[in-house]
Chains A and B, each alone.
Chain A
């Protein structure tokens, strides 16, 4: 390793491996320390620029530390997230959960800092396999199945990515992780984009997200919401910036997520759909590709991590305290969980892009960039989506969860209360960051990859936002009864996949196994059967024909022998007579043959 670069993943991985040995009172400080060290490493690296951590592996050179503004800003927010997330789950006893979370974060940081596709792929798979444990640790009856679906689909995505990497290597001879040929994308570019896109939950490869994130443990979800999708956004920003199809994809994602979130009954699934929607904005920004757009996508990613984790922390607290996650089983909780309500409200305001809260600073950048590139249709649709976001996340969620009619059972109501101190501290941190980023966006802008002079606090922008929010709120309260949550599950493309999956397995089990057995039977019937028939024929032949001949000869010889025996008398002179006659005949024959 070249000096001067500290890979933050080392601290997390080493920390995870040592964790089982740290018991008792040492554990909590240790849990707090390890991610803090990795954050320190990231801050330390922020001063650098260039490629570090070069390792020669077979024919290639792996780059483990590619530091530039894009990777630094993502690494910073991810490392911060690791700290906040661990703090949130500090009281969780099971070491495995923390280990999984840290490996997951380590994988994400590894992807962000990697400068070549091979090391990227290693960390990419590490992320998938570590994060699945965060789903399994919820230990509900269906957690296992959900986790496996998650794992299989991420493996498929990983293999698609690998195919793209190999093809790309084949075409260009290099495994460097840089901008691909997006103007004229070949098969390799498509495959790599799809591989990244699956992690970013691009429609139609998105169904894993709502299912998995709503099934995760209460603290696991905080990690899950931040790392996978935003690392994928980073990868897209690095490799596919300016790829036009991403604009279309982003818009589709934004709207798709909104519609489903409005219908959704489970509070965390609603947030998961919200992730699909918000990542759509980032993907659209990456697709637009201009400096302002990329800046906007990155800023939005940072803001999103902050407020989404805050939201998951808030709803996670509700889950942790009451054990319930459905609107139809909750409601009216502001009285019993005021602090949770406050922090969740900050998160809701942030995602809705209310001025002085996080997303206000970033969403407008993407919108402006879109208008600059004259992608008007896309921008109007994104604004539509933004209104929707405010609706389900800024209004529906807080209203039906903390106000509205109280559908809690008595047991739920009794259990409700503000969560333990560490969770509250974590939420305070998150909320502070959200407000900070929203009020003083300058320090976020300074971290962005491209230098752009931009400010969202113009009079026009403010009035635009206030109008939008104000009148959308009016519409919501007037049409409130149409958004009332019902205890239903929303079917999605994954219904199709599951049916196909079952059909597929049935197909393999019955016909293919039948074919294989049939082949074995054929071997037995045709192969062995005919073999036995032939062998029985030869056996007959052997006995009757060959042996017939042999036996015939034997009988003949015996007969002849019987005749010849007569010639044998016991007397020696008779024998001598015959012998000498025989010798004479032979001599004569020999002499005659030599003369001829």
Chain B
């Protein structure tokens, strides 16, 4: 328990986790559309505002789990309610809480049927998402992890596009399959160590076979979530069919749960297996970057294009994680936040176009530049950010990841470079088509430009694009201590075990 910095007084983390859930109860009784929207906006904004003390009260110099709370839950089975925040999770929690109000705002006009259940799903999802990032007990983690599947499924299945049944079931089964393995691994760890408390399971001398099996189980579950090639095929379908808010949550937060899991579980709990299997995973990441780039280039549907671009971007994140050095991991973590901001914003933009043209086909939204100048300005900046233009947030993240990869292996980094070129190519292509179109543009004169609500939704994202791009130091400071602690422990471990050298030369 010395790893935890217990928070005295007001249990902030639990409050943040359960406030949305409590708020959602009200929606069971009051079904009015306007009430649902306003109430949810209120709750999510309240959560966002209340998460800011996390930022101010966080001690960036400590690698312990801060704001921790520990209560006994099921003592017989050693299952406890333990939550805590460290450098790795704080930015993700803030991303989640701050993005939710914007999801609500984006759905203001988009969702017209069954508004109260929709908002209910959003609030329940927020609970489980925040819970995932702060849970320090395995069972608690698993519960929150699974908890978010049903609302997401409903989000796609009820409020989704034409092929929603297919996409939602695919999403659900794919993710569940991975999660089942996760459960098996959790139980195995419990049997080995006798407790579900996550920090206690880290850096234990499990046998190599055990580690490899547990690692593979974890890895599969998280790889499906990330999504890594070749487990990514659920993503395009889910993104395309989901409503805007669903896509934003999926892209910005849910995908990060996978990479968070890799950092939180795969590395410290099964370090030998990580060192052993890092090399093939790195090549898998490269495959994802290149593959995502190629498939994105071939898309006609904007949402699918951005979905495949997510595969590419998350490839950079996993690349950064598994090079196992400071720059790579920090770059990967920063990229997680960047991707959340940028891709979330891009999906919001696509949603706005969809609300007007009722189609996501590129061909139908060609040449809107003339009629929607505000929109294309925002879209242009977010596209620049997406392929890592200097001055924007993704440049810093990609630069750090590439610097870390170069430290690890030159050939690997050079293999990732074409991915950056492809990213530029497909984003520019989409931008060209949307803004100027070609010679046979459909008549877009009926389009109205962004209203104040929509500008208010996009502006904070743009702010973060440039803030992180020009002044990333504060963000990196938050995560630095925890990342260094993690890597230091990994390297100490590595010095005692020489596994990697033996098998992978």
Contact = CB atoms under 8 A, between A and B. Distances in A.
Consider the complex of A and B and state whether they touch directly, i.e. have CB atoms less than 8 Å apart. Answer: yes
Interface in B228-273: 230, 233
A166 B390 contact: no
At the interface, is chain A mostly helix, strand, loop or mixed? helix
B180 interface: no
Contacts of B403: 166, 169-170
Given A156-B421, A166-B399, A516 B406 contact: no
Contact of A167 (B390, B391, B410): B410
Nearest to B390: A122
B413 interface: yes
A169 B404 CA distance: 11
A523 B297 CA distance: 23
A159 B428 contact: no
A374 interface: no
A504 to B, nearest CB: 9
A509 interface: yes
B18 interface: no
A564 interface: no
B297 A144 contact: no
B421 A505 contact: no
B5 interface: no
A163 B436 contact: no
A144 B425 CA distance: 15
A152 B424 contact: yes
Given A512-B295, A513-B295, A166 B406 contact: yes
Interface in A515-553: 516, 519-520, 523
Contact of A508 (B294, B428, B438): B294
Interface string B374-393: 00000000001001011100
Interface in B339-367: none
A125 B425 contact: no
B298 interface: yes
A160 B439 CA distance: 33
A58 B298 contact: no
B428 A151 contact: yes
Contact of B436 (A129, A144, A162, A508): A144
Contacts of B233: 516, 519-520, 523
Contacts of A129: 384, 389
Contact of B406 (A160, A167, A513): A167
Contacts of B399: 162, 166
A36 B418 CA distance: 41
A380 interface: no
A343 B384 CA distance: 41
B472 interface: yes
A25 B407 CA distance: 57
Nearest to B471: A57
A159 B439 CA distance: 31
Nearest to A121: B390
A125 B414 contact: no
A148 interface: yes
A570 interface: no
A513 B298 contact: yes
Contacts of A508: 294-295, 297-298
By secondary structure, the B interface counts as: helix
Interface in B410-450: 410, 413-414, 417, 420-421, 424-425, 428-429, 432, 436, 438-439
Contacts of B473: 57-58
Contacts of B389: 125, 129
A586 interface: no
B355 to A, nearest CB: 27
A58 B406 contact: no
B402 interface: yes
Contact of A516 (B295, B402, B424, B472): B295
A148 B417 contact: no
* A152, A508, A520, A523 pick with most chain B CB within 10 angstroms: A508
A149 to B, nearest CB: 10
B425 A152 contact: yes
A541 to B, nearest CB: 21
A130 to B, nearest CB: 12
B202 interface: no
B406 A170 contact: yes
A129 B391 CA distance: 13
B428 A141 contact: no
Contact of B424 (A57, A155, A512): A155
B476 interface: yes
A166 B413 contact: yes
A155 B395 CA distance: 13
Contacts of B425: 152, 155
Contacts of A516: 233, 295
A163 B413 contact: yes
Nearest to B419: A159
Given A144-B432, A508-B294, A512-B295, A125 B407 contact: no
Contact of B439 (A141, A166, A509, A523): A141
A96 to B, nearest CB: 11
Nearest to A165: B399
Contacts of B407: 170
A121 B233 CA distance: 36
A187 interface: yes
A166 B410 CA distance: 10
B294 A163 contact: no
A505 B426 CA distance: 11
A129 B389 CA distance: 10
Contacts of A159: 417, 420-421, 424
A152 B428 contact: yes
Nearest to B425: A152
A509 B424 contact: no
A189 to B, nearest CB: 14
Contact of A187 (B384, B402, B410): B410
Nearest to A506: B298
A344 B38 CA distance: 69
A101 B387 CA distance: 24
Given A58-B473, A125-B389, A148-B432, A163 B414 contact: yes
A141 B437 CA distance: 11
Nearest to B418: A159
A366 to B, nearest CB: 34
B230 A519 contact: yes
Interface in A110-148: 121-122, 125-126, 129, 141, 144, 148
Contacts of B424: 152, 155-156, 159
A121 B439 CA distance: 34
Contacts of B295: 508, 512-513, 516
Contacts of B406: 166-167, 169-170
Interface string A383-414: 00000000000000000000000000000000
A514 B144 CA distance: 37
Contacts of A152: 424-425, 428
Contacts of B230: 519
Nearest to B427: A155
A537 to B, nearest CB: 19
B482 to A, nearest CB: 18
B417 A125 contact: no
Interface string B149-188: 0000000000000000000000000000000000000000
Contact of B298 (A166, A167, A509, A520): A509
Contacts of A141: 439
Contacts of A155: 387, 421, 424-425, 428
Given A155-B421, A169-B403, 20 more contacts: A58-B473, A122-B390, A122-B391, A126-B390, A144-B432, A148-B429, A148-B432, A151-B428, A152-B424, A152-B425, A155-B387, A155-B424, A156-B421, A159-B420, A163-B413, A167-B413, A187-B410, A505-B297, A519-B233, A520-B233
18 contacts: A57-B473, A122-B390, A122-B391, A126-B390, A148-B428, A148-B429, A155-B428, A159-B421, A160-B417, A162-B402, A163-B402, A163-B414, A170-B406, A508-B297, A512-B294, A512-B298, A513-B298, A516-B233
6 closest Cβ pairs, A-B complex: A170-B406, A122-B390, A155-B424, A508-B298, A509-B298, A513-B298
